[in-house]
Amino acid sequence: MATLKDFRDERLRKLAELKELGVNPYPANAERTHKNLQIKDDFKALEGTQVTVVGRIQSLRKFGKIAFVVIKDDSAQLQLFWTASDAQPDYTNNELAISNIPLLDTGDFIQCHGEVIKTQTGEISVKVATIRMLTKALRPLPTEQEGFTDKEERLRRRYVDTNVNPDVYQRYIRRSKFWQATREYLIGQGFIEINIPVLESIAGGADANPFVTHMDALDQDFYLRISHELPLKRLLVGGYEKVFDIGPRFRNENYSDEHLPEHVAMEWYWAYANWQMGMQLTQDMVRAIADKTWGTRQFTLANGMQVDLGADGTDWPKVSFVGIIKERYGIDVFNTSLKEVQAKVKENGVKVEKADNINRCIDKLWKKIRVELNGPAFLVDIPTFLQPLAKVQANDPRLSEQFNLLLGGTEACKAYSELNDPLDQLARFNEQQALRDAGDDEAMMLDTDYVEALEYGMPPACGYGHSERLFWMLEGVTAREGVPFPALRTDK
């Protein structure tokens, strides 16, 4: 049985033969007048005209003095009808004769100039006048019969995966549409996109363990951002009223079907808005994104859960955090002990870590409930001690003005009325720093510069964020399938 080395050696031989003919197998220039799909869609108008098309060879069939070559560009496949000709090809222009077809392979890129026709079998084609070599492929792509299904190989060689599996190819087009739809919706609502730094001297805005890097120019360590939050809120201090940013963030923590340490995220901040206004915007935004990206509001997620985002004018239900913890576990989150919550955590089959505190244990208990909720729904009545950056509810200061979007057994987003009292913020930062000093590496760092910014005055505001996990969920794939090039352990 032929090996990959055998195939590659044979293609290297063809490469050498092309060069001997005077053909440059990797020219810098290519020409195209029409995409392949245009030839098919506009056949009546184009029939009999001369066109130039390009693409990767999908198949080659030669029958005596005629050959059929199928090429593919990013729009469609197209058949080329090639017949023997007395005209001599200009090899120095990378042109080939039909007699040179043995030097071509599937996977090669070629350029064809010729007349738009329909063959005797009714196939829309281009009758070849000239064919030029654009790229000689040295490794064969898997055939349709062979397939390309090995999970590890697909992740490591996504460029092969997208060539062989059309559904995967379309997935990353939808991923692009997802962020384009997000951007267009927010701009349509009057938001301004302002890019903020990835490198931060203090990592803030979320409970997460940051990556650390070093900037030689300043001879100083920096953190890769774990959130967009604090710089965007500094922009509210600076006078902007509706701002957002879309870009990567980095959280040096678990690698799972729902989380990648590096991922793309979006956060927006809206001055003079509260969490109730933010809830309405979120509902409308997610529906608009779904419409533009998938053209539907009904989804089957990777875990099998069914989700219906509902019709315009209908509101998603609300789930009380405090209420559901009391209902399920009999725990009053405001009047409990570490011993009690640890006992409930163990009772429900969750491991208690050495650094666990009451906050972490209550969060673990909530996550046992969360996995059962299809959504969409908004989680509300979240205790203030679980959210150090949110305002408290006027009628019960123990609760934060926060909502999380529940979808498919997880939280797809987080949003709240932003805390803008600098003294309150400093006190909460100090509480978080105390947890950090006690061994909680994911607790927030004390950011005195941000507190100083608040002292100049930040208007009341609502902030929101979601990552591309929302895309993965609605697309019905795991995290690693949802990105083109996930981080993988390299072979040593």
* Band of residue 462 on the pLDDT scale cut at 50, 70, 90: very high
Pairing of strands 124-135, 66-72: unpaired
pLDDT in tens, 255-314: 888 899 999 999 999 999 999 999 999 999 999 999 999 999 999 998 999 999 999 999
The yes-or-no verdict on residue 442 having pLDDT over 80 is no
Own/partner contacts of 68-74, CB < 8 Å, gap of 24 or more, are 69/104, 69/110, 69/112, 69/128, 69/131, 71/36, 71/110, 71/112, 72/36, 73/35, 73/36, 74/35
> Domains of the chain: which residue ranges?
4-135, 160-317+375-482
What does the DSSP assignment read for 59-74? EEEEETTEEEEEEE-S
Which residues fall within 8 angstroms of residue 128, CB to CB, at 6 or more apart?
69, 80, 81, 82, 83, 112, 113, 114
Most confident range (mean pLDDT) of 108-122, 394-408, 430-444 is 108-122
What is the pTM assigned to this prediction?
A: 0.90
Per-residue model confidence (pLDDT) at position 479:
94
Distance CA 416, CA 393 (A): 11
Q: Which percentage of the chain shows pLDDT scores above 90?
A: 74
Distance CA 313, CA 335 (A): 39
Q: Which two tokens mark 403?
A: 């909502």
224 or 443: which leads in pLDDT:
224
Q: Name the class of domain 4-135.
A: mainly beta
Distance CA 461, CA 463 (A): 7
Per-residue model confidence (pLDDT) at position 355:
64
Residue with structure tokens 């011993």? Answer: 339
Query: What's CA 24's distance to the chain center, in Å?
Result: 38
Per-residue model confidence (pLDDT) at position 487:
92
Q: How many CB atoms lie within 10 A of CB 223?
A: 20
Per-residue model confidence (pLDDT) at position 473:
94
Distance CA 482, CA 471 (A): 8
As a whole number, mean pLDDT of residues 424-448 equals: 83
What does the DSSP assignment read for 141-189? PPPTTT----HHHHHHTHHHHHHH-HHHHHHHHHHHHHHHHHHHHHHHT
Sheet with 199-200, strands from edge to edge, namely 199-200, 220-224, 212-215
Per-residue model confidence (pLDDT) at position 342:
84
Distance CA 249, CA 196 (A): 11
Phi, psi of 23 (to 5 degrees): -85, 135
The yes-or-no verdict on residue 331 having pLDDT over 90 is no
Phi, psi of 157 (to 5 degrees): -125, 60
What does the DSSP assignment read for 25-40? SS-S----SS-HHHHH
Tell me if domain 4-135 and domain 160-317+375-482 are identical in fold. Answer: no
CATH code given to domain 160-317+375-482: 3.30.930.10
CB 372 within 8 A of CB 304: no
What's the chain's average pLDDT? 93
Residue with structure tokens 């390299």? Answer: 490
Q: How many CB atoms lie within 10 A of CB 333?
A: 22
Range in 136-150, 168-182, 390-404, 439-453 the model is least confident about: 439-453
Cite the beta strand spans of 277-395 per DSSP E: 298-300, 306-308, 318-320, 377-380, 382-383, 392-393
pLDDT in tens, 199-233: 999 888 887 889 999 999 999 999 999 999 999 99
What sign does the dihedral 389-391-392-393 (CA atoms) show?
negative
Beta bridge partners of 68: 61, 81
Range in 84-93, 228-237, 305-314, 465-474 the model is least confident about: 84-93
* Band of residue 492 on the pLDDT scale cut at 50, 70, 90: low
Own/partner contacts of 17-26, CB < 8 Å, gap of 24 or more, are 17/103, 18/103, 18/133, 18/136, 21/91, 21/100, 22/91, 22/92, 23/91, 23/94, 23/96, 23/133, 24/94, 24/133, 25/133, 25/135, 25/136, 26/134, 26/135, 26/136
As a whole number, mean pLDDT of residues 407-422 equals: 91
DSSP state of 272: T
233 or 442: which leads in pLDDT:
233
* Band of residue 189 on the pLDDT scale cut at 50, 70, 90: very high
- Compute and round to an integer the Cα radius of gyration of the chain: 29
* Band of residue 96 on the pLDDT scale cut at 50, 70, 90: very high
190 or 147: which leads in pLDDT:
190
Which residues fall within 8 angstroms of residue 236, CB to CB, at 6 or more apart?
243, 269, 271, 418, 458, 459, 461
Residue with structure tokens 């405090």? Answer: 322
Tell me if residue 302 falls in helix, strand or coil. coil
